[in-house]
């Protein structure tokens, strides 16, 4: 079965299973993340107090860690929840939002990578480059630019994937998803996605949602990234010209209507193997 068929099938399975997805995330885009998770067919729960983070992880099918508004009160919760997720064997998806932008984010990102077994990392080129140990200069959290001339996204993704034995997804004009050997390039999406806050965070929440519904994390990562890309295309067609407000809402609409047929029709995947 090829990746397109696997993703299409997973998009139906997730609606049957409706996995509970524990998100320790930021307060800027959290509502969109919850609605994206619901739209795709999973069930969100947000809990970041140290008094319940591990307990909530224990009843969940996946844990998503997003450091968009990192703060010292929830950092211990991230590690407690991560530890529990590793113990019970559910996937941990990490979004290193703004890694490279401050010492706090840099140090916390490093500690997460070193102490929690991650299943999937999803970020932009700049953020994943930081995880790869490269010097980066970040311009905010909604930037997906980074020094695309300086580093090769495929090389960086593969090296991080091999080093951490996980799936790496670098999203941008062309999305790159790899387990270190198999490489999936996705050409879906629309540049207007960068004009709405939270499309990156939502992508990670979708990746986490799919990871909660399958053991095949490469397919889960491709499904999550492709879902946002396809939803962005449909949203742009429907109301890109109206403005970013309606475009934002149309993304959620498109996610809520996404099914295996839409994916088969629209997915622009390019697969290669080392």
Binding site for a copy of itself (CB under 8 A): 20, 26-32, 34-35, 38-39, 43-52, 55-56, 59, 68-73, 98, 101-105, 138-143, 195-198, 242-246, 248-257
Task: List, in sequence order, every beta strand (DSSP E) within 32-171.
Answer: 43-46, 62-66, 92-95, 120-123, 167-170
The Cα–Cα gap between 51 and 47 comes to: 9
| Residue carrying the six token digits 């080129």 | 125
Residue 48 or 269 having the CB closest to a copy of itself? 48
Residue 30 or 157 having the CB closest to a copy of itself? 30
Give me the least distance between CB of 81 and a copy of itself, in Å please: 12
Pick the closest to residue 94 from 129, 64, 74, 116 (CA basis): 64
Region of 63 on the Ramachandran plot (φ > 0 left; ψ -120 to 50 alpha; else beta): beta
Residue 51 or 89 having the CB closest to a copy of itself? 51
Q: Which residues pair with 21 in a beta bridge?
A: 44, 62
Give me the least distance between CB of 183 and a copy of itself, in Å please: 30
Cα pseudo-dihedral 98, 103, 108, 111, rounded to 10: 120
Token reading at 257: 């209507």
Give me the least distance between CB of 10 and a copy of itself, in Å please: 19
Residue 182 or 246 having the CB closest to a copy of itself? 246
Residue 59 or 173 having the CB closest to a copy of itself? 59
Give me the least distance between CB of 67 and a copy of itself, in Å please: 10
Residue 5 or 142 having the CB closest to a copy of itself? 142
DSSP three-state, residue 214: coil
The Cα–Cα gap between 141 and 196 comes to: 12
Give me the least distance between CB of 77 and a copy of itself, in Å please: 9
Give me the least distance between CB of 179 and a copy of itself, in Å please: 29
DSSP output for 7-55: HHHHHHHHHHH--EEEEE--SSSHHHHHHHHHHHT-EEEE---TTTHHH
Residue 160 or 255 having the CB closest to a copy of itself? 255
Give me the least distance between CB of 134 and a copy of itself, in Å please: 18
């Amino acid at each position: 079965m090829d990746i397109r068929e696997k993703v299409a099938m997973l998009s139906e399975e997730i609606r049957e299973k409706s996995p509970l997805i524990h998100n320790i995330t930021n307060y800027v885009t959290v509502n969109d993340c919850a609605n994206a998770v619901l739209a795709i067919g999973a069930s969100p729960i947000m809990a970041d107090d140290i008094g319940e983070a591990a307990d909530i992880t224990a009843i969940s099918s996946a844990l998503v860690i997003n450091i968009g508004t990192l703060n010292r009160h929830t950092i211990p919760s991230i590690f407690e929840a991560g530890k529990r997720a590793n113990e019970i064997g559910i996937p941990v998806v990490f979004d290193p939002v703004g890694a490279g932008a401050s010492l706090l984010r840099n140090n916390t990102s490093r500690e997460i990578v070193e102490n929690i077994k991650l299943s999937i990392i999803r970020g932009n080129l700049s953020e994943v480059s930081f995880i790869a140990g490269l010097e980066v200069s970040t311009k905010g959290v909604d930037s997906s630019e980074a020094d695309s001339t300086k580093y090769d996204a495929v090389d960086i993704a593969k090296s991080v994937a091999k080093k951490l034995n996980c799936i790496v997804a670098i999203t941008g004009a062309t999305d790159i998803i790899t387990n270190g050997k198999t490489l999936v390039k996705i050409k879906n999406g629309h540049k207007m996605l960068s004009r709405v806050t939270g499309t990156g965070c939502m992508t990670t929440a979708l990746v986490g949602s799919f990871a909660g519904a399958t053991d095949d994390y490469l397919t889960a990562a491709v499904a999550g990234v492709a879902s946002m890309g396809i939803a962005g295309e449909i949203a742009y067609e429907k109301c890109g010209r109206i403005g970013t407000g309606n475009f934002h809402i149309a993304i959620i609409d498109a996610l809520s209507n996404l099914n295996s047929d839409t994916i088969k029709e629209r997915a622009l995947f390019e697969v290669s193997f080392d």
